[in-house]
Chains A and B, each alone.
Chain A
Amino acid sequence: MYVIVVGGGKVGLNLARELIRNGQEVTLVEQDRGAYLKIEQELEHAIQYGDGTELWVLERAGIQRADLVVAVTGDDEDNILICQVAKEKYMCERIIARCNNPRNLQHFKLLGIGPAVSATDLILNLIEHEVPGHGLVHLLDLPDEQLEIIEVEVMQGAPAAGLPVADIELPEGSLIISVLPRGKPGFVPSGDTVIQPGDEVLVVLDPGLEQAITSQFAPTGAHR
């Protein structure tokens, strides 16, 4: 696989190192002369000097034959444009962009740049997963397939608590695929499996149904 990584900061350099170690062909593009000269001592021919948002720099790096372009500069506009030309001008099939400011994530989405990776959002997701009692965790979002998988904790006094799976009133387009009782291994439930308070359930659903689903697992009248 041939990978072009634009941006030789901590993220880009370590990414290039790992990819090279895994036997991939990599070109790192860095526009700061000082950083370039320093990294060149280590990566040698695998780094090129230049502004990765300029077309001739990308062409010199061989973007026409790149299997993957990764834009990880510290500037979101740069990352958006690098990925945009990679995808739309050079027909590169796979792009990955770094989103430095999570408020810019909407711009990446608007212009069809994805996946966009935001460190802030990744850490927030981890916090959601780690902090007990914080009801809902997004485990998987597949926007193209119109599919999500969420993890919900069953609260004391919730409509679903104490009910067999078959009797829980879930909206059309959703399904309980796994039950994780506290401290025990998870399993795929049958219609007779009774859901207990403190259990966690994994639900596969069409986007937009979260509210209707969480209301079954939260105490009646609770606001989330």
Chain B
Amino acid sequence: MMVLVVGAGRVGSAVAKSALAAGHTVSVLDEDPLSHERLDAGQTTSWEDAGGRFTVGTAIEIDALLAAGIEEADVFICSTNGDNTNLTVAQIAQKQFGIPRVIVRVLDPARSEWYAEQGLNTICPTKIAIEMFKNAVLEPVER
């Protein structure tokens, strides 16, 4: 599979590395050239030597998406630090490029839910954190 990751932050870079380790073709797009360091961190070979692709560009620019190989992508992951960028770019990937699997990170639980109803595959870390906190808080305290 060809996996395109937009946004090489903590989440995006970790997902990119596991996808590459699992033997997939992986391309990463980020507007910050320095984000490349995250892809190399903790690895014995550089990202490119390990077979990864890295493109510097803004996700909402079609030229940047094309340079990162969106036309060949089977899986598209939107994990920039902006919900609105993620949701816009995810819909471009889905509607304009017809990518079969588009996964988008949305920090706002309300919109994560609504866009999921509209057919986007959303992941909401905030919601997961809230659940974990709730469980931890409500656990009986022994003293």
Contact = CB atoms under 8 A, between A and B. Distances in A.
B128 interface: no
Interface in A47-88: 53-56, 75-78, 80-81, 85, 88
Contact of B118 (A78, A88, A103): A88
A111 interface: yes
B130 interface: no
Interface SS, A side: helix
B95 A111 contact: yes
Interface residues of B, number: 18
Contacts, number: 45
A89 interface: yes
A107 interface: yes
Contact of A54 (B82, B88, B110): B110
Nearest to A88: B118
Contact of B114 (A75, A89, A104): A89
B38 interface: no
A107 B88 contact: yes
Interface of B: 60-62, 82-85, 87-88, 91-92, 95-96, 108, 110-111, 114, 118
5 contacts: A53-B84, A76-B88, A77-B85, A80-B84, A81-B88
